[in-house]
A = this chain, B = another copy of it.
Amino acid sequence: MVKHAGLPRNETGIETVVGVLKQQFGERFQTGAAIREQHGHTTTWIENQPPDAVVFPASAQEVSDIVTVCARHNVPVIPYGTGTSLEGHVNAPAGGICVDISQMDKVVEVNQGDLDCRVQPGVTREALNTHLRDQGLFFPIDPGANASLGGMTATNASGTNAVRYGTMKDNVLAVEAVMADGRIIRTGTRARKSSAGYDLTRLLVGSEGTLCVLTEITLQLQGIPEAISSASCSFPSVDAACQTVMSVIQYGLPVARIELLDDTTVKAINAYSKLSLPETPLLLLEFHGTDASVLEQAEIFGALSEEHGGIGYQATSTTEERNTLWQARHDAYWAMLQYRPGAQGIATDVCVPISRLADCVGAAQKKAAELGLVAPIVGHAGDGNFHVSPLVNMADPEEVTKAGAFIGWLNDLAISMDGTCTGEHGIGQGKRPYLVRELGEATTVMAAIKAALDPQNIMNPGKILE
């Protein structure tokens, strides 16, 4: 495990706050070891640093009450959605109070005519889409996990659909948030665009709980497309697959999804999902539109992939076939774990300009092989974003060290290609050194904003900035 340094604890303050909140919240305030452990849970290899207590507020006012008392006594506040973040976002290195927003799970309103809705932060992605289905609407952002919309907003989540529908940043119209002094603000309206002052909405999207606790989110929605079709196409090399992706983007083909799986990943999902895909690099696609445009998109893609040596291009003809394909993609993480039993998957993500994707993926494969690591790659290729997940025997210190070195090397490589150290996972604890290498002096501007809006550094301390 990777352990990040603890921060000084304010024992007196914590004790006082625990007393006050216990009084106000009763059974909705928990200090048991198991629940605290669970709320410091990290999906990858970052060691657990549990909070001192977990509180379950039911309203913005209650969140404000919690933050106000924490501010008064200088105690950390750590917002918590579903705990599916990957870089230690919910750890409590200085202890403090975890604010679990799972009970704030109401869809407040859906405005069908405007294709927007307001939700409390604890509504999950799947719950929202279930709620919307009858109205012919959906929310497109899909990070894989059934995360809460609060957590997805806080980390600027994206995923497979981002190539067409953008990231959380493109789909959040406004938020209601409790700031570090307990004030409740609203950052925008339901207007689709605005030039009214500084863009606080997008400052808070992706701020990872370090500036506020989100208490409501206004989201832009999409109409469910008339037609959806899927396809898969194999390639002789990662380079050929990436060249195809570049052609697709340059052509302006409005693919809804274009996912890259390397040969290792294909092997893993063949075994796990009982498929028989050719065990070479693969692109999985989805097209949204009218019946005619979906057909046309599939045809154009076929022609573009052929130019780059695509083999066995196949459109799915039924919903069932489509679901099988995408279920396999969604299960890739579990397939990888089964591919090397006993190993832990350490997910990391980088994002580079598309013209560098083939180079970056190719170099990552070569480097992993050199180090003797098994490291499957899946990518949201249309955005130049990909994940490498070394499968590591955590009992072997040498292998753990190698995996760490590999991840550091990969992040630096992406930065050197004018890319970013994180396309979607966020900085958390794990990526702090890379953020500085990527943006240099700009991180001092981030620190000035943090100091202005949270002068006591109580909001999720030890994340994003050192």
Contacts and interface: CB of A to CB of B under 8 A. Distances in A.
Nearest to A453: B448
B193 A351 contact: yes
A185 interface: yes
A35 interface: no
Contacts of A52: none
Nearest to A183: B441
Given A203-B203, A254-B254, A292-B296, A198 B464 contact: yes
A443 interface: yes
Given A223-B252, A419-B190, A449-B449, A203 B207 contact: no
A338 B179 CA distance: 51
A192 B354 contact: yes
Interface string A192-209: 111111111011011100
Nearest to A207: B198
A34 interface: no
Interface stretch (A91-99, A267-275, A421-429): A421-429
A69 interface: no
A194 B464 contact: no
A354 B418 contact: no
A1 interface: no
A192 B351 contact: yes
Q: How many copies does the complex hold?
A: 2
Contact of A206 (B198, B205, B424): B198
Given A158-B193, A191-B423, A355-B114, A442 B199 contact: no
Nearest to A179: B445
A354 B113 contact: yes
Interface in A415-466: 415, 418-427, 431, 434-435, 438-446, 448-453, 464-465
Nearest to A156: B195
Interface stretch (A40-48, A243-251, A305-313, A389-397): A243-251
Contacts of A264: none
Given A203-B199, A250-B115, A453-B448, A190 B292 contact: no
A353 interface: yes
Given A185-B445, A445-B453, A452-B452, A353 B190 contact: yes
B202 A203 contact: yes
A38 interface: no
Contact of A354 (B114, B185, B421, B444): B114
A202 B202 contact: yes
A438 B189 CA distance: 8
Interface stretch (A76-84, A162-170, A399-407): A162-170
A44 B436 CA distance: 44
A386 to B, nearest CB: 11
A352 interface: yes
A111 interface: yes
A194 B193 CA distance: 21
A105 interface: no
A314 interface: no
Contacts of A187: 439, 442
Nearest to A292: B296
A222 B446 contact: no
Contact of A191 (B156, B166, B418): B418
A438 B438 CA distance: 36
A425 to B, nearest CB: 6
A171 to B, nearest CB: 11
B419 A191 contact: yes
| A-B CB proximity, top 4 nearest | A452-B452, A113-B355, A194-B420, A202-B202
Given A113-B250, A114-B354, A198-B207, 19 more contacts: A112-B250, A114-B355, A157-B195, A167-B195, A188-B439, A189-B438, A190-B419, A191-B351, A191-B420, A193-B420, A193-B423, A195-B422, A195-B424, A197-B446, A199-B199, A199-B202, A199-B205, A202-B202, A225-B252
7 contacts: A157-B195, A191-B418, A193-B423, A198-B449, A199-B205, A292-B293, A449-B449
